[in-house]
Amino acid sequence: MNICVIGTGYVGLITGACFAEFGVNVVCIDKDEKKISQLKKGIVPFYEPGAEELLQRNLKANRIIFTTNVADAVKNSLVIFIAVGTPPRGDGSADMSYVEEVAKEIGKHSDGYKVVVTKSTVPVGTGERIKQIISKNLKSKVKFDVVSNPEFLREGSAVEDFMRPNRVVIGAENKQAIAILKDLYRPLYLIETPFVITNVKTAELIKYASNAFLAVKISYINEIANLCEALGVDVQVVAKAMGLDQRIGPKFLHAGPGYGGSCFPKDTNALAKISRGNNILLNLVEAAIKTNRNQKQRMVDKIMAGTKGVRGKTIAILGLSFKPNTNDIRESPAMEIAQDYLSFKLGAKIRAYDPEAMQDARKVMPKAIYCKDAYDAVKGADALVIATEWNQFRNLDLARLKKLMKGKFFFDLRNIYDPKKAREAGFEYYSTGRV
């Protein structure tokens, strides 16, 4: 089968490369010529474990090609995935202009039956809108179907999530389109992946409802963590016992500085906006948005209270990406805490280290000193803040860190150290939801 994927950002590239791995012929399209020429050489423009090997293998096998030419790709493909960005607008709603532009192009260049699939997270009703735009732009009377097939990939484990998903959701109105999508995903059928077949609108809502639920779950445990601090209780024990209840489950119950990334903050805001537009108030989602904002402020308050103010002091920040195994700093709590609060508002000097995100961080936090590793970052620092739980931060030599630092304050926002051991090493240790 020949397919094309429009948009070679995170979702588009992983989707394209993984379908190529399934043996499908994939054309990936982007307007950005520089990006396309890099991808042709097998260079992935972001850090994602396994992505570059996957791309290079499929380039070599001629199963994936890259181009800026939408017209030819659309003409030669039976299935067209839309994977362009839907960035947030000032009011929280999703900016649909890229999706609409792509729909126009698809309409203009379709010369036979096409299945047009949205992968991007789009507001409920977008499928219908895409249908109208394509119809309006068709040059001849050809048939097409619009399908919603939301992605559930997590950055840092996207390839694994694609190859072994918990479920595949297909929203379509027509049996032929469903059969074509099922055929495309046949390798997953063989490993008994559950498929949810539904209509377009439902599939669109499933994506928002899933992401918002996880955001609520994280905010819930973060609030419980705050209560744990007041009561002298360990949130990790509470979360562990809660998670053993199969109705709750252990995942996404890690207390920390709040969720970040390009999805949860954007999608919770967009869902709240969609709901308000339909005269429905999603109180829990609105509360999660507020709790998440407060959680970052709480981390800063904790650092301020512990150090008795940070003005002029040096703070070592370990971890800048919004989570481990990615170089993505979009809406990263680590960046917000370091740049917006500690450095900009409160006048601290920042020494930072992250295994993958420093190149991007430099552009938004140019005043910070970027270091070669964790030990380099803490040199002469008054306080250490672990903001993102990269594996390489989990087993640092605490005595060595303490010796290199000027001060004794250690803020482990991700709860990766044993409080007793950290205190034994001479630190004044603070974490999230543990005393």
> Which C-beta is closer to ligand UGA: that of 150 or that of 407?
150
> Which C-beta is closer to ligand UGA: that of 54 or that of 334?
334
> Which C-beta is closer to ligand UGA: that of 343 or that of 388?
388
Contact residues for ligand UGA, defined by CB under 6 A: 121, 151-155, 211, 214, 218, 252-254, 256, 259-261, 263-264, 322-323
Please, what is the minimum distance in Å from the beta carbon of residue 141 to ligand UGA?
A: 36
> Which C-beta is closer to ligand UGA: that of 30 or that of 155?
155
Please, what is the minimum distance in Å from the beta carbon of residue 59 to ligand UGA?
A: 25
CB atoms within 10 A of CB 337: 24
d(CA 84, CA 360): 21
Please, what is the minimum distance in Å from the beta carbon of residue 331 to ligand UGA?
A: 8
Residue pair 309/273 in contact by the 8 Å Cβ criterion: no
Q: Would you call 263 a catalytic residue per the annotation?
A: yes
Please, what is the minimum distance in Å from the beta carbon of residue 143 to ligand UGA?
A: 31
> Which C-beta is closer to ligand UGA: that of 144 or that of 353?
353
DSSP-derived pairing of the beta strands 168-171 and 195-198: parallel
Nearest CA-CA partner of 29 in 78, 68, 56: 68
Catalytic residue among 4, 18, 263, 371: 263
Please, what is the minimum distance in Å from the beta carbon of residue 3 to ligand UGA?
A: 20
d(CA 50, CA 286): 36
Catalytically active residues are: 263
